[in-house]
């Protein structure tokens, strides 16, 4: 969702600098002379009914001068209620002190048409907030924070500030994106861009038809975009992360993706001198591993597992990686550091490899972006080994198996960092893995006591996730999480043990869970019932509650599962065999069942074919989803004291010692996937 600038302060880890340091990082000056000042009608109340948090954003200004190297921001909020006093009485501005000077131009309260000055430098606190420390990222940015006093309902809060300086990592080239609507209403939206003669800016609209006014000024071109009474724009529930229907104006001085790639290649220089320690590591891999495939896997495993993920992304290091020698010596780095180290090691072994810039949220949607260094938030690697191309993510730990079984996330598109690159590259989806589950129940009598053994064999990314969990959590924690999952089905379940093993050669990861159940039979209407389902597969699909969609909705992806439910019963149970298939553009489901003597076996398989359902596919999806509901989840029931009348498992017959397997429609294939319950 589009958020308003500047970022609101989010509670987290805060470090307050000393008073001298606070004031040295902030200044107070008049507004720059080059900005445009717009007249605002404070009595306009058209959007007040849509406002959230008790206040309305009356003004959002962002004005940029490439001539002076300044960005000017202005925000005005109208306090509508007591909740607005609570939620809207703070000023919070984020900045990077390594290349930005923060200058406050105004802070005031307008009450009954009269301004009250609130701009005092001594009232500000400078906060080292580091919002992404939980992701092991430190960017060194600071937040200037002010709590306003004596704010009342009906007040207008206005503040404006200027940032001087751009990140030098882009070598003087400017690119940006101006948002045209938000999840909250905005009374007046204004953008201005001043471009001196000799600088070439490309402008592209996305999901908006707003056009600029271009006043003529000597020595420069000025673009001004204005919108009033901008309504709130809301996403429908559960849309995919890459889906962004918000309007924006993209601007960039990069004229092509080749230009971006050449710029990025300068951040990852080739053929650098290697430290003796790094040379020795490369030599040890080459000596121990015959052949390029083995060497590639050894280098990948080293970077993934022995170089921990930690990024210090201050100033130019927001985009520039550290030297591979430094990363090797300190044994930590972020995505670009780890990728650069892996590329350097592979190239030193004579294996062609390049960094690949990725956008983990927008994915292939970046093909509609203007070329820009800001288009990416992640870095991975492409390598050519024995004539075959492979994609690796060095930030994923504990990947195992042969080289063609190494999974790569569904990033869809990226920029290969090489001077010869002329366009974004489409990246094929590579998920060779699956989850294969077998649940075996042993029920020796009708007392309610039973035993359950669950064996799961995972490969590909599913095994990677398991290995990560078992390496980062205690066996006690994992055993309790697994037990809690089955406790949703069986109230009195006790975990006996949990065992696991990893096959580094094949990449498979196997777990074995053992449980005791004391109440497997439920007494309902004089019958003893046992509810069965594909306990894992029942949670694989995401079905939103709103069926009338104008936006796509996400599916759990990748998802490739097989599940066998075997029930060993105290006596013979006839089951009429069934075999059902449900298919659509989004998923395939298979279900079959049979019985032999005292054993009932239910087999299921499910695969998601893509990560979303488009609006044009929704009607068919919901129909097929209903069909899937009818194909899964069964109920065994036992009626004591009646005479057996046959073995038709789908009839309403009953008899002594006879359980009937009856089709149930109670399970909805929902969102939560059991074997992904430890979401990263």
Range 146-157 average pLDDT: 95
Question: How many whole angstroms separate alpha carbon 638 and alpha carbon 640?
Answer: 6
- For residue 574, which of 597, 546, 550, 601 has the smallest C-alpha distance? 597
What pLDDT does residue 533 have? 85
Phi, psi (degrees; rounded to nearest 5) at 595: -140, 145
Q: How far apart are CA 190 and CA 204, in angstroms?
A: 17
How far is it between the farthest Cα atoms of the chain? 101
Q: What was the pLDDT predicted at 672?
A: 31
Contact 166, 341 (CB under 8 A): no
Residue 674 is predicted with a pLDDT of 35
Residues 6+ apart with CB under 8 A from 21: 126
Q: 630 near 665, Cβ under 8 Å?
A: yes
Q: Which residue has the higher pLDDT, 587 or 129?
A: 587
Q: Tell me what pLDDT residue 461 has.
A: 96
Percentage of residues of the chain with pLDDT beyond 90: 74
- pLDDT band at 651, cuts 50/70/90? very low
Lowest mean pLDDT among 77-86, 140-149, 370-379: 140-149
Alpha-carbon gap, residue 645 to 643, rounded angstroms: 6
Give per-residue pLDDT as tens, 213-242: 998 789 999 999 999 999 999 999 899 999
Mean residue pLDDT of the chain comes to 87
pLDDT at residue 619 in the model: 92
Q: How far apart, in Å, are the Cα atoms of 680 and each of 237, 369, 378, 479, 665?
A: 21, 28, 16, 18, 32
Give the separation between CA 613 and CA 237, rounded to whole angstroms.
13
> How many residues can be counted in the chain?
680
In the structure encoding, which two tokens stand for residue 680, read together?
A: 């990263």
> Alpha-carbon distance 612 to 580, whole Å?
24
User: pLDDT-derived band of residue 640, with 50, 70 and 90 as boundaries?
Assistant: low
Q: What whole-number distance in Å separates Cα of residue 305 and Cα of residue 325? A: 17
pLDDT the model gives residue 678: 37
> pLDDT exceeding 70 applies to what percent of the chain?
88
Phi and psi dihedrals of 345, rounded to 5?
A: -65, -45
633 has pLDDT over 90: no
Domains of the chain: 19-253 (2.60.40.3140), 262-426 (3.10.620.30), 435-676 (no CATH)
Q: pLDDT tens, 36-89?
A: 999 999 988 999 999 999 999 999 999 999 999 999 999 999 999 999 999 999
Written as six digits, the tokens of 552 are 């796509």
**What is the DSSP code (8-state) at residue 394?**
T
pLDDT score for 34: 97
Retrieve residue 667's tokens: 């399970």
**pLDDT at residue 671 greater than cutoff 90:** no
Q: Give 489's DSSP letter.
A: T
Look at the block and give the residue holding tokens 């937040």.
143
Q: Residue 24 pLDDT > 80, yes or no?
A: no
Three-state SS annotation for 14-55: CCECCHHHHHHCEEECCCCCCCCCCCCCCCCCCCHHHCECCE
CA distance 511 to 454: 8
> What pLDDT does residue 646 have?
25
Q: What count of other Cβ atoms lies within 10 Å of the Cβ of residue 13? A: 12
Quick check: 345 pLDDT over 90? yes
d(CA 443, CA 599): 10
What is the model's pLDDT at position 21? 44
| Pair of tokens at residue 419 | 């001077």
pLDDT, tens digit, 9 for 90 and up, residues 527-582: 888 888 899 998 786 677 778 899 999 999 999 999 999 999 988 877 778 899 99
Does the pLDDT at position 271 exceed 80? yes
Per-residue b/e over 438-459, b at no fewer than 16 CB within 10 Å?
bbbbebeebebbbbbebebbbb
Q: What is the pLDDT of residue 647?
A: 29
> Tokens representing 366?
């970046």
**Token match 């220089």: residue?**
269
**Cα–Cα distance measured from residue 491 to residue 484, given in angstroms and rounded to the nearest whole number:** 10
pLDDT at 638 over 90: no
Question: Residue 435: pLDDT above 70?
Answer: yes
The pLDDT, as a whole number, for residue 544 is 75
Query: Is residue 192 helix, strand or coil?
Result: strand
**Contact (Cβ atoms closer than 8 angstroms) between residue 64 and residue 194:** yes
Pairing of strands 413-416, 388-392: unpaired
Mean pLDDT, rounded, for 449-476: 95
């Amino acid at each position: 969702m589009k958020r308003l600038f500047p970022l609101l302060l989010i509670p987290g880890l805060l470090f307050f600098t000393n008073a001298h340091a606070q004031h040295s990082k902030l200044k107070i000056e008049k507004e720059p002379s080059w900005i445009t000042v717009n007249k605002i009608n404070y009595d306009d109340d058209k959007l007040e009914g849509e406002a959230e948090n008790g206040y309305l954003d009356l003004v959002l200004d962002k004005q940029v001068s490439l001539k002076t190297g300044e960005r000017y921001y202005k925000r005005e909020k109208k306090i509508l209620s007591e909740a607005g006093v609570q939620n809207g009485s703070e000023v919070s501005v984020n900045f990077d002190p390594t290349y930005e000077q923060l200058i406050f131009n105004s802070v005031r309260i307008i009450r009954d048409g009269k301004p009250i000055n609130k701009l005092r430098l001594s009232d500000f606190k400078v906060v080292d907030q580091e919002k992404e420390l939980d992701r092991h990222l430190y960017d060194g940015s600071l937040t200037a924070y002010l709590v306003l006093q004596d704010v009342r309902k009906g007040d207008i809060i206005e503040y404006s500030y200027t940032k001087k300086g751009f990140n030098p990592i882009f070598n003087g080239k400017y690119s940006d994106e101006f948002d045209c609507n938000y999840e909250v209403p905005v009374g007046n939206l204004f953008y201005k861009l001043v471009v001196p003669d000799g600088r070439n800016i490309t402008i592209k609209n996305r999901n908006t038809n707003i056009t600029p006014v271009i006043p003529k000024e000597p020595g420069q071109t000025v673009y001004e975009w204005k919108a009033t009474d901008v309504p709130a724009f809301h996403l429908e529930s559960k849309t995919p992360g890459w889906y962004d229907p918000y309007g924006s104006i993209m601007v960039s001085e990069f004229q092509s993706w080749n230009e971006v790639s050449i710029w990025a290649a300068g951040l990852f220089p080739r053929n650098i001198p290697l430290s003796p320690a790094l040379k020795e590591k490369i030599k040890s891999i080459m000596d121990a591993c015959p052949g390029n495939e083995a060497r590639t896997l050894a280098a990948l495993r080293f970077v993934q597992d022995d170089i921990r993920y930690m990024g210090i992304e201050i100033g130019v290091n927001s985009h520039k990686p550290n030297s591979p020698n430094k990363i090797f010596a300190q044994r930590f780095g972020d995505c670009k550091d780890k990728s650069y180290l892996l590329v350097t090691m592979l190239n030193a072994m004579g294996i062609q490899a390049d960094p690949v810039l990725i956008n983990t949220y927008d994915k292939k949607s970046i093909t509609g972006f203007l070329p820009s260094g800001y288009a990416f938030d992640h870095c991975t690697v492409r390598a050519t080994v024995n004539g075959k191309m492979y994609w690796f993510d060095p930030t994923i730990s504990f990947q195992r198996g042969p080289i063609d079984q190494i999974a790569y996330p569904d990033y869809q598109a990226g920029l290969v960092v090489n001077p010869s690159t002329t366009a974004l590259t489409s990246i094929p989806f590579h998920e060779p893995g699956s989850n294969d589950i077998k649940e075996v129940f042993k029920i020796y009598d009708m007392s309610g006591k039973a035993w359950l053994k669950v064996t799961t064999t995972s490969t590909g990314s599913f095994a990677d996730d398991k290995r990560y969990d078992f390496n980062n959590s205690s066996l006690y924690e994992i055993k309790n999480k697994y037990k809690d999952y089955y406790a949703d089905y069986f109230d009195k379940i006790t975990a006996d043990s949990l065992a696991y093993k990893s096959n580094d050669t094949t990449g498979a990861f196997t777990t074995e869970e053992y449980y005791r159940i004391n109440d497997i039979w439920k007494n309902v209407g004089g019958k003893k019932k046992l509810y069965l389902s594909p306990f894992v597969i029942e949670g694989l699909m995401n079905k939103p509650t709103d069926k009338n969609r104008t936006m796509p909705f996400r599916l759990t992806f990748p998802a490739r599962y097989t599940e066998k439910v075997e029930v060993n019963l105290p006596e013979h149970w006839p089951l009429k065999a069934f075999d059902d298939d449900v298919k659509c553009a989004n998923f395939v489901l298979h279900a079959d069942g049979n019985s032999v003597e005292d054993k009932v076996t239910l087999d299921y398989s499910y695969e998601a074919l893509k990560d979303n359902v488009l609006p044009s596919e929704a009607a068919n999806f919901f129909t097929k989803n209903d069909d899937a509901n009818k194909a899964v989840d069964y109920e065994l029931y036992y009626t004591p004291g009646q005479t057996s009348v046959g073995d038709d498992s789908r009839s309403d017959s009953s008899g002594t010692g006879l359980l009937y397997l009856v089709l149930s429609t109670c399970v909805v294939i929902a969102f939560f996937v059991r074997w992904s319950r430890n979401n990263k």
